């Protein structure tokens, strides 16, 4: 039983990581109604930024959270303003999705050009140190990711519920034309929302970098899992994304031990297909609202 509860603990900690990555993705979809296929590559950009700043400045990766978050916010704002915004009025909404796929490919190839295909490791500075709680052991970095996941989801919830900008964002998500009639600049809301979603990935990057090596394709695994989390929790639901992340973290940990490490992705995506067939709106699915 000790092994089982250790696996449960590992899965919950891993879920915290998935939550931080997924919450930005679900926020962008919930407000802009856009599936961002470049989400993983934004994580990769943040991890490379953390790696470079840590190795050049010799500071702890966690101390780089503010500048990396700001960097990704600016990158997200620029992407929405100059790449996606001009496509908002396109008759075929799939054009925006194709644009994010093209952006994903461009970022991967830019990373290959700048850094090559080599794998780089960010100094951990204690993030991989194991903490003991009776018979259980857990890495410091995993605890930090889990706590950060709770804080990010809780902070975004309060922001959306308690601030004027947050209420404007929610109004835009519910009915963008009605929001326009109430004087809300929806283009500005979209730009800010995409920036916030990218900033969440920037925070995730600083927490992931000490734990996982970075390469041009590092974002692929994380973003595919994030898509499963978002669909499971309900696309557009922040608390659903957090709960979905914990569930997927548990599935990842338990299936990797009891079935086979190489087959845990198969189990995760089998759950993904089952959700789409049985409950396409997810556990806490939100209505799309009128356009």
State the residue for tokens 């990842």.
252
At 207 the three-state DSSP class reads helix
State the residue for tokens 């692929």.
220
Number of H helices, E strands in the chain: 11, 2
Other C-beta atoms within 10 Å of 168: how many?
A: 20
At 132 the three-state DSSP class reads strand
The domain locations on the chain are 2-116+138-278
Q: Is 183 left (phi over 0), alpha (psi -120 to 50) or beta?
A: left
Mind listing the pLDDT tens digit for each residue in 187-216?
A: 999 999 999 999 999 999 999 999 999 999
Residues sharing a CB contact under 8 Å with residue 58, sequence separation 6 or more, in sequence order: none
**Class of CATH domain 2-116+138-278:** mainly alpha
* pLDDT of 132: 87
Residues sharing a CB contact under 8 Å with residue 112, sequence separation 6 or more, in sequence order: 216
Residues sharing a CB contact under 8 Å with residue 91, sequence separation 6 or more, in sequence order: none
* pLDDT of 177: 87
State in Å, rounded, how far the first CA of the chain is from the last one.
Answer: 51
Among residues 137, 118, 144, the alpha carbon closest in space to that of 216 is found at 118
Which two structure tokens, joined as six digits, stand for 126? Answer: 């204690």
CB 228 within 8 A of CB 270: no
Using the 8-state DSSP alphabet, how is residue 92 labeled?
Answer: S
Maximum alpha-carbon separation in the chain: 60
* pLDDT of 159: 95
pLDDT along the chain (291 residues), means of 10: 88 90 90 90 97 94 96 97 86 83 96 93 89 87 92 94 94 89 92 96 94 93 88 84 92 91 87 84 61 40
* pLDDT of 110: 96
């Amino acid at each position: 039983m000790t092994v089982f509860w250790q696996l449960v603990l590992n899965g919950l900690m891993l879920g915290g990581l998935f939550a931080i990555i997924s919450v930005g993705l679900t926020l962008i979809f919930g407000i802009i109604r856009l599936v961002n296929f470049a989400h993983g590559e934004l994580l990769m950009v943040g991890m490379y930024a953390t790696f470079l700043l840590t190795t050049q400045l010799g500071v702890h990766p966690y101390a780089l959270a503010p500048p990396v978050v700001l960097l990704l916010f600016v990158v997200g704002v620029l992407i929405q303003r100059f790449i996606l915004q001009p496509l908002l009025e396109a008759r075929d909404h799939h054009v925006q999705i194709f644009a994010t796929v093209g952006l994903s490919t461009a970022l991967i190839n830019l990373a290959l050009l700048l850094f090559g295909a080599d794998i780089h490791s960010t100094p951990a500075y204690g993030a991989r140190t194991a903490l003991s709680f009776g018979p259980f052991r857990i890495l410091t970095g995993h605890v930090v990711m889990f706590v950060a996941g709770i804080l990010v989801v809780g902070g975004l919830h309060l922001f959306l519920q308690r601030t004027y900008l947050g209420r404007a964002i929610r109004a835009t998500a519910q009915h963008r034309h009605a929001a326009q009639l109430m004087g809300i600049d929806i283009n500005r809301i979209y730009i800010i929302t995409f920036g916030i979603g990218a900033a969440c990935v920037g925070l995730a990057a600083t927490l992931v970098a000490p734990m996982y090596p970075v390469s041009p394709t590092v974002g692929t695994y994380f973003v595919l899992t994030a898509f499963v989390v978002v669909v499971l929790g309900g696309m557009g639901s922040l608390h659903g994304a957090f709960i979905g992340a914990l569930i997927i973290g548990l599935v990842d940990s338990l299936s990797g031990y009891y079935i086979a490490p190489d087959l845990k992705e198969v189990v995760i995506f089998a759950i993904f297909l089952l959700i789409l067939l049985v409950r396409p709106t997810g556990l806490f699915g939100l209505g799309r609202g009128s356009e």
